[in-house]
């Protein structure tokens, strides 16, 4: 795996003379918590901008940087385009709300709490019921490496092939976490998509990219036979475009758009 400096030199020109956006480093954990809550609120605005907002479904969670056995999640029944940092709710792995003024979706707890427990390397989890995610999940198949972007999910996602209805039990959350394994994403058959990341920026950007790749493969399959990228090239491509630095970076233009549109989510 390339180091961060090696990745920057490989993907940019002029990084020796000009700054490249990088995740901030905090000495004050309270400042870090507020920053991360703002990024989570921004992720909901990004999902709304992309149309990933139907009814009560969909949730993004973020492990708390001060009390890592708790995580932040969106309040129930507030539209993604209206969520502010101050609206977020913090819940522990036993389902107790420890901070916030709203109820939360039980499925968000049942799925996300089990993933946060099973994957200490994961700080954020994103899930929604999108048009293309739902359509692709009905195939019960993994994404194929048909493009540079799709290569980031090559041998880096799985299919959870069990659907028993609306997730309400921790046992099903455990099964989804097991299906995810060490990957970046899982396709929930007849349900939708789920992605993870070390930052909420990465998890959200991964979700946007996966939904787009589902759309691309559906279009390509409808038009004819797929021409896939070889294993060696797909793995080499994934080494770059699935790195945490790149996936974090993919979110930054999205953040800029929602910030320019309405900065109220920072409150």
Domain extents for the chain? Answer: 27-259
Task: Tell me if the domain spanning 27-259 has CATH number 3.40.225.10.
Answer: yes
pLDDT interval class at 10 (50, 70, 90): low
**What pLDDT is attached to residue 33?**
98
* 13-32: average pLDDT: 83
Q: What's the rounded mean pLDDT across residues 54-62?
A: 92
Model confidence at 36: pLDDT above 90: yes
Tell me the average pLDDT of the chain. Answer: 93
| Residues 6+ away with beta carbon under 8 Å from 203 | 43, 60, 122, 123, 124, 125, 126, 195, 196, 197
- Residue 7 is predicted with a pLDDT of 64
pLDDT band, very low/low/confident/very high, at 9 (cuts 50, 70, 90): low
pLDDT given at position 169: 79
> Tens digits of per-residue pLDDT, 131-181?
999 999 999 999 999 999 999 999 999 999 988 877 767 888 999 999 999
The owner of tokens 């399959």 is 221
Per-residue pLDDT tens digits for 237-267: 999 999 989 999 999 999 999 999 999 999 9
User: Global pTM?
Assistant: 0.94
């Amino acid at each position: 795996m390339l180091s961060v400096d090696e990745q920057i030199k490989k993907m940019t020109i002029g990084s020796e003379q000009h700054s490249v956006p990088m995740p901030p480093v905090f000495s004050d954990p309270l400042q870090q918590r507020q920053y991360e809550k703002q990024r989570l609120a921004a992720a909901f605005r990004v999902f709304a901008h992309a149309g990933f907002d139907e009814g009560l479904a969909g949730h993004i969670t973020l492990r708390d940087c001060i009390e890592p056995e708790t995580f932040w999640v969106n309040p129930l029944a507030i539209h993604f385009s209206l969520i502010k940092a101050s609206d977020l709710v913090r819940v522990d792995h036993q389902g107790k709300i420890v901070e916030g003024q709203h109820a939360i979706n039980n499925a968000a707890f049942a799925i996300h709490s089990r993933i946060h427990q099973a994957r200490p390397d994961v700080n954020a989890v994103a899930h929604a019921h999108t048009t293309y995610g739902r359509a692709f999940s009905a195939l019960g198949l993994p994404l194929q490496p048909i493009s540079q972007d799709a290569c980031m999910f090559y041998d880096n996602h799985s299919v959870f092939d069990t659907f028993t209805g609306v997730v309400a039990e921790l046992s099903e959350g455990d099964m989804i976490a097991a299906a995810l394994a060490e990957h970046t994403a899982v396709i929930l058959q007849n349900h939708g998509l789920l992605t993870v990341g070390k930052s909420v920026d990465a998890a959200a950007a991964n979700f946007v990219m996966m939904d787009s790749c589902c759309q691309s493969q559906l279009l390509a399959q409808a038009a004819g036979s797929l021409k896939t990228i070889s294993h060696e090239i797909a793995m080499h491509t994934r080494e770059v475009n699935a790195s945490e630095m790149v996936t974090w970076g993919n979110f930054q233009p999205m953040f800029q758009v929602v910030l320019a549109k309405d900065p109220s989510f920072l409150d």
